[in-house]
Chains A and B, each alone.
Chain A
Amino acid sequence: MAENKLSASQQAAYWEKTRGLMLVILAAWFVFSFLIHFWAPQLNQIRILGFPLGYYMAAQGSLIAFVLMCVWNAKSQDKIDHEFGVQDE
């Protein structure tokens, strides 16, 4: 396993970037978990391929967004790890 040679200030910079990524994805999570569904009754007025849009977002749309968020986090965090040379494989 690679060693962690970060100085205190590098460690702080690393964590700031990590926390920034976390907060951005947390915000996206909040939007797709809660925010858009507040308007489900209105969105349901729109039908696409037979799906009322509000129903579709809760049944499929948000789920796809969640999968993408997890992939996004894995890829971006890996990039941050490499930038600071602290990846573990």
Chain B
Amino acid sequence: MPGPTPVPTPETAPYWEGAAAGELRIQQCTSCTEYYFYPRPFCPRCGSGAVEWRVTSGRATLISYVINHRTFPPSDAPLVIALVQLDEGPHMMTNVVGVEPLPENLPLDLPLRVTFEQRGEYAIPVFTPAEAAR
């Protein structure tokens, strides 16, 4: 599959450990209750250092995307590179998998569920249409 593997830092390691355990984990500020992504040891909204890791619902909606026909490194398979919004609020980049990569299959606001793609020693969180994941 496309793309390199991540190089975790001490601040992001719990995210990747969660993915390896089949969980999409993000942080929540216990001062202002904001969920946020990507991982940082403080809340980007209020600045509090009182933050905790949470396991998300794994549900998201499709905000925007491209269907990349010129992948790097090269591949014959078009790749859906998507911006999604987690039900908890934050946005993240991902791939939409498990569906033929055609515009008619990918209406904006489509409900999605997280799934994980094994790549080397890492599990990469990707998303699939919610109905297909049941």
Q: Are chains A and B native binding partners rather than an unrelated pairing?
A: no
